[in-house]
Structure 1
């Protein structure tokens, strides 16, 4: 078993133990569900999963080929003089085509469904082995916005037995059945929001729920693929 190396971090004026980013341990002997091997230097782990399928970026212009599919059918293209006159008169009064190019149609607003956001969670490790002795062990988490088509609010779910201490100046620890660390300042592409959380002294696999984004700060959309598990090995646990 590799020894867990520690660093220190000052949180709100209090110095806490913090795990370095290369903690590793063999955990198969614990017989716990979930993780079976250590994750070395997990901050490089990608939680990159687009919140939008490729189809969301499609054209959707809905053009039909119509008669062009069969240019050899000359009978369908033949028109007598009377039909041509009727067609020309009808065209003069038809201004409805503007809706097809978006000029006269429904833009759909600026809601969450039109935002395109991808993000990932970076962390010290997927496995935390707590040392014996007094002190509080703290981990750092970074929510990294990879792509964002517009400015959005960001938040991330975390387990109830983890305690969020602080992070960026506007971090809010939202209480409730599902707990979030929520950032009240909007973010854009290539920006990062950081928070620190105390690691619970309980052996088990903890699930960190998905990262979510919101355009208006009220309606939230999950970013798929951003849920993950972290294994905590309490101090004094035999491995």
Structure 2
């Protein structure tokens, strides 16, 4: 039996490396996109072919067999590394795009929430404004009622000139007539009710003094 030479052992080792590289590349191709996977499988088949040299070829041309196997392994490894890098870059871009889309969705949701909150605040502000205006009107009405109830201070009417003997000029003796005590003791609502019962008009905005004069 012929002894294996050093060149033949190198050829056999290169063939074994090519076979292993082809086997690993076929596994990796299953995880790659369609186009780069096809390229890797083609180079894996070439490496497998380089690993399948006959004993006669190894014995006669060991260096050629070893070089062929090494070149096949080198091409396969480069193509596999390139395909993996592309796949990883694509996966990274996809992940970044998904993250950006998720962030955009989150920002849109927050913007919608802030818009809804702003709308609610505007509604509350408008409601508060209407309540304040109503309170102002009620306060003004209450103040008007108080003024109407008490009546403004009115200067006394000038007394008619009185002649000798206590006789008023152009009239009969006596003092200026004063409101009836029972009318002066009534409240404004009571005086208005009395004016309504008597069929008077224009009494709704009169003061107490004016109502008393009207009913006297």
TM-score range, shorter chain: under 0.3
- The structure having more radius of gyration, on CA atoms, is 2
| Greater relative CO (CA pairs within 8 A, separation 6+) | 1
TM-score scaled to structure 2, two decimals? 0.21
Larger relative strand fraction: 1
Larger relative helix fraction: 2
